[in-house]
Amino acid sequence: MLNNSVVQKNNFLYFLFLLACLTAGFWSVLQKLAIRWSSGDNSYCYLVVPLFLYLCWDKSKNFDFTGFSWSMLGLIPLLLSLGLIIGGELASVETLLFLGIWGCLTSLAITLYGRRSRQLFFPFLVLLFIIPLPPFLNRQLTFKMKMMASSLSVEMLRMAGVSVLQDGNIIDLGIKKLQVVDACSGLRYIASMFLMALLIGYFSLNRLWKKILLLLMVYPLSIAVNGLRIFISGIATIKGYDFVIEGKYHDAAGILAFLVAGAILVICAAVMQKIGSKKKLRIIHDRAPKTKAFMLPLVLTIIYCSLFIGIGWSLKNLSAAMIIPQRTTFTSFPLTIGEWQGTRSYLDQKILDALWADDYVSATFSRKSSDNTIHLLIPYYKYQGTRHTAHAPQSCLLGGGWALINSKEKTVDPSIGQKMQIRIMEMHKGDAKMLAGYFFFQRGRVITSPWLNKLYLIQDALQRRRTDGALVRVEISIPSGRNIHTAEKMLIEFVRNLRPLLPKYIPE
């Protein structure tokens, strides 16, 4: 029999080896996570790991982290988490990759501490914030918050006696137009606001309903604070102080709005502390685990490390296992489509890096009988995985300042082939208007749903060893005073003539 000190030393070495294999096996996933932390408004994620470690340290007063219980219960969440990582790579959904990494860490805690790991629920809940919001969901929430904050500020301006008009996210003050962009919508710190509310509730509130209420306050509070911020910017603009909506003053106003919202949350928590009867805090003292035999920790360590290294290696070599079909490059793509004559254009390197495409065609088409122009962009991918995939254009368009007014599916009857559905979106940006149509052309399928496209990626990767495909974007400008229905007919007719040309360049 091994004495307790030797067992404890071995357990600690097993734990370090598990972390090392997890890091080594999924290093490429962790690099992608770091890239996401450094992009957009996700920098708050860098604080999550120190917060998690602090919460664990705070728990150490009543929880013995050095006493390993070694349980096979962790194998179930481990397999589910590894499935998320594999599915995330095949479907090119980074959020699933990151959720899988969080799940692997959670399964390690369950394996090391067994049922005792329930006491670590809150630290691991906070650790979940290492996963940034998916870009598409991020943009959708931004759009809704942007519209609500704009409408609220307009009502406040009218109450203050200011004559103002609103067109989507554009606020017309007469002397100047204010465009409420994502940075003014409050979403740039909505995730960190939820994290703040979670921590305030944990440390200061002793009833679950109070904690939930505090979390529910975050969304309307962000809208209200940013509505007030836009209102103040509008008043300052009218008074001739329009510099406050630009540069460092604009950024400082955003930080101030975040601090004000945080202070309001603290005040609300302090008020809720005094409401209702106080619930005594029940302190759970961790019982020292029984010493485990040598064999179970060793077997579990071998299983975990083999899975981490094996699946990590498979992810790195996944693209090499895919079949790359023969095709004609876009260099010979025709610039005459129906009555439309095109001029090829080329994207700058920054856009190409964000597009991740292996080949593309970009062209602007016009015709003598119309003053509308059509822009065509088709990025093609030899294989698809995370950070190398076609993605729906809503996120790019909303990020470029376009407001989504309407979205619908329309049927196109190509001159050759079966009928197909395309997604058409009506977009406004200031006085500019356009119709943006798109569809995924993936291994012979025409798909408009980004989610269905992901499912087909998984299916075809497993059954056909193919994930190649393209996104087809067709955008038509609508000159001032022109009929939007006429533009829609033009766009559909263009797609009708475009569809038979695609299989030569995008293999079915």
According to the model, what pLDDT value does residue 416 have?
67
Q: Are residues 52 and 339 in contact, defined by beta-carbon separation less than 8 angstroms? A: no
Percent of the chain with pLDDT over 70: 86
Dist CA 422 CA 475 (whole Å): 12
pLDDT band at residue 398 under the 50/70/90 scheme: low
Tell me the per-residue pLDDT of 337-356, one tens digit each, with 9 for 90 and over. Answer: 989 999 999 988 888 888 88
Tell me the per-residue pLDDT of 405-460, one tens digit each, with 9 for 90 and over. Answer: 888 999 888 866 678 999 999 988 777 889 999 999 999 999 999 889 999 999 99
Unique residue bearing structure tokens 């096996």: 25
DSSP output for 171-214: EE-SS-EEE--GGGTSGGGHHHHHHHHHHHHHHH---HHHHHHH
Specify burial of residue 482 (Cβ count, 10 A radius: 0-12, 13-18, 19+): middle
According to the model, what pLDDT value does residue 185 have?
47
Dist CA 81 CA 100 (whole Å): 4
- Which of 250, 293, 397 minimizes the C-alpha distance to 70? 293
Strand pairing class (469-477; 432-442): antiparallel
Quick one: average pLDDT of 102-128?
A: 94
pLDDT at 171 over 90: no
pLDDT at 310 over 90: yes
Tell me the per-residue pLDDT of 133-163, one tens digit each, with 9 for 90 and over. Answer: 876 666 666 667 777 887 888 888 888 887 7
pTM comes to 0.83
Specify burial of residue 434 (Cβ count, 10 A radius: 0-12, 13-18, 19+): buried
Hey, what are 53's tokens?
A: 């470690």
pLDDT at 180 over 70: no
**Residue 244 main-chain phi, psi, to 5 deg:** -70, -15
Dist CA 9 CA 66 (whole Å): 10
pLDDT band at residue 304 under the 50/70/90 scheme: very high
The larger pLDDT score, comparing residue 148 to residue 84, is at 84
Within 8 A by CB and 6+ apart from 344, the residues are 335, 361, 362, 363
According to the model, what pLDDT value does residue 414 have?
80
Cβ atoms within 10 Å of 397's Cβ, excluding its own: 21
Hey, what are 75's tokens?
A: 């194998």
pLDDT at 183 over 50: no
Within 8 A by CB and 6+ apart from 418, the residues are none
Which residue ranges form the domains of the chain, and what is each CATH number?
4-132+286-317 (no CATH), 135-273 (no CATH), 324-504 (3.40.1000)
Cβ atoms within 10 Å of 104's Cβ, excluding its own: 26
- Write out the H or E segment, with its range, that includes residue 8: helix 4-25
**Residue 173 main-chain phi, psi, to 5 deg:** -95, 5
Whole-number mean pLDDT of the chain?
Answer: 85
Rounded to the nearest 5 percent, the helix, strand and coil shares of the chain are 55, 15, 25
